[in-house]
Amino acid sequence: MKNFFFSTAVCFALLTPSCGVDEKPRPIPRPPLPSPAPELPTPEPTPEPPKEPEPVPIESCVNGQTYGVEQRQSPLRGMFYVAKCDGYKPVVVGNNGTSAPSLYYRATAQHLASKGFMVIWPEVPNTGSGRSCMAGLELGFKQPDALPMHYAITGHSQGGSATLACGGLAERKYPDYKAALLPNEAACGMSSTNIRSLAGSIDQKVLFFSGDRDTVVRESWVAQCYQYVKADKAWIVGKGATHFNTQNYIPELALHFFRSALFDHLESWQALNEVSSRKYRWKNQFDNIGE
């Protein structure tokens, strides 16, 4: 019987983890947590290709304002008037009549300069070949404040013919430039043996002016050069205009026309088309405006 109790006690002891002492349960081992991945460097953003700078618009002084006028020194004999304006000035070259002083045309030169133009008016006895006019254009284009790729030409009598001769020469030398030509009572062909070819090569707008009382250069003479020009052209007649009083007409016509043709200024086209019928008569008008 003792042996029975002894065996039972041994078995009980073997089944019991401790004898009379409460032991805390051992924690269940857990696998180690994964280590955080090392931080990778943030990639630099791909730089955008540099943008080409937008072209800055060129500010022209021909903007409807009126400026003071300065007179510059010139290697050419004659007038050189420039608007007192910080912007760019379109070059205008004038051509005097046979042996006429350039100051005879001062009203036109100063009026255009006061409206924002750079006016160069060489003075030579014979202008018809257009060579003195080309020298004036080249002088103007060298000025730092000249408006790039724009020019206008005008001239009276032999200088009117020179306007077309110079226009043809300039067309060949500066084919991408924009121009406007205003021959005033053009004595067609004086001092130019190739006026027909030169006038025919012009690809700019041309406004002819003649006087209904001009007994020196009559309309029939002007008509010769008018026929030579194949570009878009017009013809306006000054009522009461003689060969010697055209400075009463040309300043306003030149301003309206040059602003219109060089800058496609519709208000100036309108002003040109609506000049006083008491002072002017249109013989022919332009086919296209704003082009």
Exposed, middle or buried, 267 (CB in 10 Å: 0-12/13-18/19+)?
exposed
d(C-alpha 118, C-alpha 193), whole Å: 30
pLDDT tens profile 172-216: 999 999 999 999 999 999 999 999 999 999 999 999 999 999 999
d(C-alpha 103, C-alpha 69), whole Å: 15
Residue 10 has pLDDT above 50, yes or no: no
Helix (H, G, I), strand (E, B) or coil at 105: helix
Mean pLDDT of the chain: 89
φ and ψ at 244, to 5 degrees?
-120, 5
With contact defined as beta carbons under 8 Å apart, do 225 and 188 qualify? yes
Instruction: Give the model's pLDDT for residue 233.
Output: 98
Residue 25 has pLDDT above 80, yes or no: no
Q: In what order do the strands lie in the sheet with 89-95?
A: 69-71, 78-83, 118-122, 89-95, 146-156, 178-184, 205-211, 233-238, 280-284
Joined together, the tokens standing for residue 247 give 């400075």
Helix (H, G, I), strand (E, B) or coil at 260: helix
Look up residue 255 and give its amino acid: L
State what percent of residues in the chain have pLDDT above 70.
Answer: 81
69-284 homologous superfamily: Alpha/Beta hydrolase fold, catalytic domain (3.40.50.1820)
Residue 57 has pLDDT above 80, yes or no: no
For residue 146, the Cα-to-chain-centroid distance in whole angstroms is 11
pLDDT tens profile 119-145: 999 999 999 999 999 999 999 999 999
Instruction: Give the model's pLDDT for residue 47.
Output: 72
DSSP structural state of residue 35: P
The confidence band for 6, taking pLDDT boundaries of 50, 70 and 90, is very low
Helix (H, G, I), strand (E, B) or coil at 61: coil
Instruction: Give the model's pLDDT for residue 58.
Output: 74
* In the chain, where the domains are located: 69-284
